[in-house]
Structure 1
Amino acid sequence: MKQHAQRVKTRHIILAVMCLMYFISYIDRVNIAVAGPLIRHEMGLSAVQLGLVFSAFAYPYAVMQIIGGWLSDKFGPKLVLTVLSLIWGAATLATGFAGSVAMLVALRFALGVGEGGAFPTATRAFTYWMPVGERGFAQGITHSFARLGGAITPPLVLAVVVAGGWRDAFILLGIASLMWTVLYLFVFTNSPEQNRRVTPEETAEIGYCKGDCDRAKRQATPWRKLVRRMWLVTFVDFCYGWLLWVYLTWLPSYLKESRGFDLKQLALFTALPLLAGVVGDTLGGVVSDRLYKWTGRLRFARCAVLVTGMGGSLIFLLPMVSVANPMVAVLFLSASFFFLEITNPVLWTLPLDIAGKYAGTAGGMMNTGFGIAGMVSPVVFGYLIQHTGSYNVPFLISAGLLALGIVAALFIDTSRTVEADEERERRMGPEEAGAFAFLDSMPTVQLERHTLRRPLRWWR
């Protein structure tokens, strides 16, 4: 019994708690789509008003990415994520008592504030809890739980609706969110040295040095260095997010209007791609970590998975547009989403690799690309459908963005870290180091030891 207890690492307990957070938060995020028709009927909302309720989440969600990440860097993820989870839990609970469209919009806005900073803060939490060789898995498994939450939301919420109504669904989910906050407060600490359950052996495995957490809080955020190192990752995340938002918003309509599935079939065939994404999220993180352990080349381990994932998604998306058989189209969509989600854990691992102690802010910067895609992609997709009368053109544009993302991913270099920039500045002085870093940040050349190298040799 004692030997078994020793095998359960504290960091893995914390990871399990984070998985639960991703799972619950995603249900809280998408439950409004399931309850939407019932809310519209009860309150007499127009389609425009319901659309306003849906969109109220996206804008604060995008804005809070960088803010939430920065706050977690400054004040620690324990305090910040506690406050954020209280906000979104209370907003979800209060939605069950909403009596007007204005109140619904306000509560969805509050939900966006709470959840907007949650994932960057969770990424910051992994900085001092996950060793480099486990970060891909950690990001993969947490986002797998997020996709799983999205996949089970329709049957879960509908079951509660049948038993007690749509208001009960929000009340119960809000209570579950607040209960998670209590669990998080009990289990999580900002660093291993603050946790009495962590052994010296596990601290060594993590690679944490005493005092790292406190020193990081006292340092000013190097905004310019972060932008220089993260803008390319943000662009790749935008390309990834564009297609993901298409799946999250337009997939049911596409299957019904373009492929002719009835309402009973929609529940199953909408869930299939999302379930494929659950597997892809987990596999992407595991494969990236294994590649790093086998080769010792972090850049290769990250970029290879990014390129393979986006490339595979592109390969299966293109024939889906032209295939005639609806069932085959669903299989292509599922395969495309599987490969798309392989990239997700790597994208979330890159802020840890590149920004280190500033991973919260860096994660927020990266996911701002996803947030912008969420504001633009569904609208553009709908506009193109309306003006072309077909889903083919918007899907082909999504494929084109995947191709751009693949090219951009080739230039991401995990060896160009913010901490390396800071060390160079201490050694060379701000002006000389700034000029060097500017040249080093250009995607067309890589300047290292005063020698130009080809940028696409990312396998080294």
Structure 2
Amino acid sequence: MMKGDSTTVISTSSAASASAPAMTQMPAISRLRWGIVLILLLAAIVNYLDRANLSIANTTIAAEFGFSQTEMGLLLSAFLWPYALANLPAGWLVDRYGPKRMFAWALCLWSSFTVLASFVNSYSFFYGLRMMLGISESPFFTSGIKITHRWFGDRERGLPTAIINTGSQIANAIAPPILTVLLLTLGWRGMFVAIGLMGLPLLLAWWKFYRDPDAREDALLHAGQRSVAQPEEQVRTRWGALFRYPATWAMVIGNFSIMFTIWVYLTWLPSYLEKSLGFSLQATGWIASIPFFAGILGVLVGGILSDRLVRRGVASITSRKIPIVLGAALAACFVAPIPFVHSTPLAITLLALGYFFSQMPQGALWTLASDIAPKEQVASLGAIQNFGGFLGAAMAPIVTGVILDMTGKFTNVFLLGAILLFIGALSYGLFVRRRLQS
């Protein structure tokens, strides 16, 4: 008995001594991983400024080249279709070659294509570069999900994922004033060069500071947080096998439905404010930023809420689904009545609340993909989900334009958006239930 007791004491003291240096490592690990999140946040802002520059320079470019409104509409959508389709191979490439190399290449290429766009002299050249911009940006968010999966445990992954996703909302909020100033001072070509060059210091910082966690760091970061099935999920599965699961299709349909309404905001909100609410062109830029600032809070609330639920013992998949389903359903409730109110302040309030709740899912969508996917397919499943979302994004400006041509009003646009938001809530709520098995 005494012998067994001494063995226990020795074992316990050995474990304690082994954990001591591990605990001293945590501050350094924490600084490194949050520094990586900061770089990704800044890259997300630049990423979306590169997308928004054409919208800001729309009328200036159309006047210089003599493009029709139809030609400009097609040019504005040239980014979205290639981006949506390129997400499918991008996720596989990130899983195959790792996020460091794929993100570095993506940042280098999208910055280069933005700078090259300043030298265009024809419509076809411009259109081709916008397509290449969409393709080159596709590995960004899939790299982000892979990185947060590696550097953060199950109970804390929602917040960093949400922070990275706030980059798009920050960019949407600050793009009109910043890009307008650059446009007025540098011209549209100079604006494209300035935005493109913003990626260079981020590329250098990324290549210098990013690395994957080593084995010891990985054990510290995920101690006690991996499920029993995790070792089996480390076996590499075929990319196409993910489409066998109903949950994958539910995520595609759900994100399609949510992103449709988000991109109605992104592409048609200024027009609605000007034509339906009677704001001047100067006032529209400032009023249009209100929902986007609300969206920043929405993304963060979704991520924080999901992490808090996990820490309280709620199953991780359920914890991610709650802000997705709740956010989409409440967004529908605020979006539907917008065309029927006659008070301008109330309409703006509903717009802001609708966008706030539509962004709550964005703080948890990517984290949900990392929670249910086999370990080696995290980026792939996230990319497939994002593919569905950007199909909805690509459809939004086109369908909205058709409805406006047919009716001259935004009523059916908002009602359709509300219906799709409910469909998104139902898709995630009813059909995404458990971890996918490899």
Q: Which amino acid aligns with 2:302?
A: G
**RMSD, aligned α-carbons:** 2.4
Deviation at residue 219 of structure 1 after TM alignment: 2.8
Deviation at residue 202 of structure 1 after TM alignment: 4.7
1:182 aligns with 204
Deviation at residue 8 of structure 1 after TM alignment: 4.3
Deviation at residue 126 of structure 1 after TM alignment: 2.1
> What is the CA–CA distance in structure 1 between the aligned matches of 2:194 and 2:295, rounded to whole Å?
26
1:247 aligns with 265
Deviation at residue 412 of structure 1 after TM alignment: 4.1
Q: Which amino acid aligns with 1:234?
A: V
Matches within 5 A, 1:38-117: 38-117=60-139
* Residues 124, 357 of structure 1: 8 Å contact kept: no
> What is the CA–CA distance in structure 2 between the aligned matches of 1:4 and 1:73, rounded to whole Å?
26
Q: Which amino acid aligns with 2:412?
A: V
Q: Which amino acid aligns with 1:358?
A: Q
Question: Any idea what SS the aligned residue of 1:99 has?
Answer: coil
Matches within 5 A, 1:287-298: 287-298=305-316
Seen in structure 2, the aligned counterparts of structure 1 residues 173 and 28 have a Cα distance that, compared at 3 Å, is same
Deviation at residue 226 of structure 1 after TM alignment: 4.8
2:213 pairs with 1:192 = yes
2:412 pairs with 1:393 = yes
Deviation at residue 129 of structure 1 after TM alignment: 1.4
2:179 aligns with 157
2:44 aligns with 22
Seen in structure 2, the aligned counterparts of structure 1 residues 92 and 336 have a Cα distance that, compared at 3 Å, is same
* Length-normalised TM-score, structure 2: 0.88
> What is the CA–CA distance in structure 1 between the aligned matches of 2:237 and 2:219, rounded to whole Å?
31
Seen in structure 2, the aligned counterparts of structure 1 residues 268 and 295 have a Cα distance that, compared at 3 Å, is same
Question: Any idea what SS the aligned residue of 1:128 has?
Answer: helix
> What is the CA–CA distance in structure 1 between the aligned matches of 2:187 and 2:128, rounded to whole Å?
21
Percent of matched pairs sharing the same residue: 28
2:392 pairs with 1:380 = no
> What is the CA–CA distance in structure 2 between the aligned matches of 1:181 and 1:16, rounded to whole Å?
13
Seen in structure 2, the aligned counterparts of structure 1 residues 53 and 225 have a Cα distance that, compared at 3 Å, is closer
> What is the CA–CA distance in structure 1 between the aligned matches of 2:371 and 2:222, rounded to whole Å?
18
1:258 aligns with 276
Runs (5+) with no aligned partner, structure 2: 1-23
Q: Which amino acid aligns with 1:275?
A: F
Question: Any idea what SS the aligned residue of 2:121 has?
Answer: coil
The number of residue pairs the alignment matches comes to 410
1:301 aligns with 319
> What is the CA–CA distance in structure 2 between the aligned matches of 1:161 and 1:130, rounded to whole Å?
40
Q: Which amino acid aligns with 1:138?
A: P
Q: Which moved more, 1:91-100 or 1:403-412?
A: 403-412
* Residues 309, 341 of structure 1: 8 Å contact kept: yes
Q: Which moved more, 1:128-137 or 1:27-36?
A: 128-137
Deviation at residue 187 of structure 1 after TM alignment: 1.5
* Residues 299, 361 of structure 2: 8 Å contact kept: yes
* Residues 353, 417 of structure 1: 8 Å contact kept: yes
Q: Which of 328, 352, 364 in structure 2 is aligned with 1:346?
A: 364
Seen in structure 2, the aligned counterparts of structure 1 residues 4 and 78 have a Cα distance that, compared at 3 Å, is closer
> What is the CA–CA distance in structure 1 between the aligned matches of 2:203 and 2:329, rounded to whole Å?
38
* Residues 288, 346 of structure 1: 8 Å contact kept: yes
Deviation at residue 116 of structure 1 after TM alignment: 2.0
Deviation at residue 296 of structure 1 after TM alignment: 3.3
